[in-house]
Structure 1
Amino acid sequence: MNRQVKILLVDDNEESLIALEAVLRPLQQRLFKARSGQEAMKLMLRHDFAVVLLDVLMPGMDGFETAAHIKRLDQTRDVPIIFLTGTEPGSGAAFRGYAVGAVDYLTKPFDPWVLRSKVAVFLELFRKSAVLMEQTELLGRLVQSDEVLTDFAQRLGAVEARLVDLGGSCSDDEGLRDAIKDLADRVSAMQAAFDAVATSARPGLS
């Protein structure tokens, strides 16, 4: 089952927020609402959102200014922004929206199916990114474990030493000697790969 993720809806019009909720409810995700750019920024600093649906025309801090603030902060700059606005397509607002970092720009009234499908893509990307980060952190913890590193290094070293002994004891059997050499090369490559991973995870490891 896909984990629930968070979506931020930003619009100063309550009816628009209600309409967005109705459109996105079938996705069964957690929906957060903000009625101003300031409120949106406060929420973004407290939550990790998969995508932000941002109205352009708002009093005070408008959508463009809000998007600029989002992209300026390290914590929020990678969150995708979809602009939703009633502005005419030929007004230049779309160009300005992309210029401040939006990934998409839809004019109202928009097709609910189109919006839902676009949002679904960013939800899936967010989930896959989260899984990748978890796996990377797990690998890092495993590699950084002194016990795991020591045990694995010792096992590889023992295998390499045993292969060297075997190669020396069967010098008369060319076929067996070649097979042992091939296996030794594989173990050596494995050792090199392990050393590279360990070094990248623990720069001080020698």
Structure 2
Amino acid sequence: MSTATPDPCSILIVDDMEENLVALEAVLGPLHQHLVRARSGEEALKAILRQDFAVVLLDILMPGMDGFETAANIKRLDQTKDVPIILVTGADADADYAYRGYALGAADFLAKPIDPWVLRTKVNVFLDLHRKNRQLAARPMAGNGRRLAEISERLADVELLLRNRPGGDTSGLVDRIADLERAVRHLRAGSTSA
């Protein structure tokens, strides 16, 4: 398992029972991540709208808004629809719970008692994915800046060749290349500000 990471992520754990929250915190503690508790579906929705989570561990059987309804609400919101949800339920779970959970968009389903090693392993996968997604989002155009500069230079060369070409009307093509150059410059400006 991994030890402390340079960029800890947040994990939302949702259960109406204190002892279950304590148990999940004990199991996930060795991952050295920021654990956020919610004791109801309503609390979970408030928390997920306030901050970014790598994964949500969500108990199914809760009073009020149950885990299925909470998962459906999380998946319905644009800003949270991609957050992976692991549904958790007791050993006496109804046979169609897993099906219902997956149909709502849950990433995984675990029945209690939960094997600590399995839970940490599954959560670690989502943590790694979350970190990679953050890295990609932080530099969406950084690697493309040099390539955009090369494309811009080549377009300028082609435009010069077309303008200096004897005979034939190439004005429409020259205009299209000029439009492409402007679009590339706009993309380059966006990549340097990202």
Name the TM tier (shorter chain).
0.7 to 0.9
Structure 1 stretches of 4+ moved >6 Å: none
Equivalent-residue separation in structure 1 for 2:110 and 2:118 (angstroms) = 10
- Please say if 1:79 is aligned against 2:79: no
Quick one: which of 24, 34, 42 aligns to 2:38?
Answer: 34
- Three-state SS of the structure 2 residue aligned to 1:58 is coil
Aligned residues: CA RMSD: 3.3
Of Structure 1 and Structure 2, the greater helix share is in 1
Q: Is the 8 A contact 1:87 1:93 kept in 2?
A: no
Instruction: Decide which of 173, 187, 193 is 1:201's aligned counterpart.
Output: 187
Partner of 2:107: 103
| Aligned with residue 55 of structure 2, among 39, 51, 55 | 51
**Per-residue CA shift, 1:45-86, capped at 9, x if unaligned?**
010100000000000000000000000000100000001100
1:17-166 equivalences under 5 Å are 17-89=21-93, 91-136=95-140, 138=142, 153=152, 157=156
TM-score by length of 2: 0.74
CA separation of 1:198 and 1:36: change in aligned 2, threshold 3 A: same
* Partner-residue secondary structure (3-state), 2:105: coil
Give 1:5's aligned residue: 9
Which residue of structure 2 aligns with residue 184 of structure 1? none
CA distance in 2, matches of 1:132, 1:153: 24
User: Normalising by structure 1, what TM-score?
Assistant: 0.70
Amino acid across the alignment from 1:58: M
Structure 2: tracts of 5 or more residues without a match: 161-176, 189-194
Moved more, 35-44 or 82-91: 82-91
Q: Contact 1:7 / 1:32 at 8 angstroms: preserved in 2?
A: yes
The Cα shift of 1:94 comes to: 1.1
Deviations 1:116-159 (A, max 9, x none): 0000000000000000111115468x68xxxx96xx9569857x
Per-residue deviation, 1:197 = 7.8
- 1:159-199 superposed Cα distances (whole Å, 9 cap, x missing partner): x98xxxxxxxxxxxxxxxxxxxxxxxxxxxxx9xx959827
The code of the aligned residue for 2:12 comes to: L
Between the aligned partners of 1:90 and 1:22, the Cα distance in structure 2 is: 27
Aligned residues: 166
Give the letter aligned to residue 78 of structure 2. D
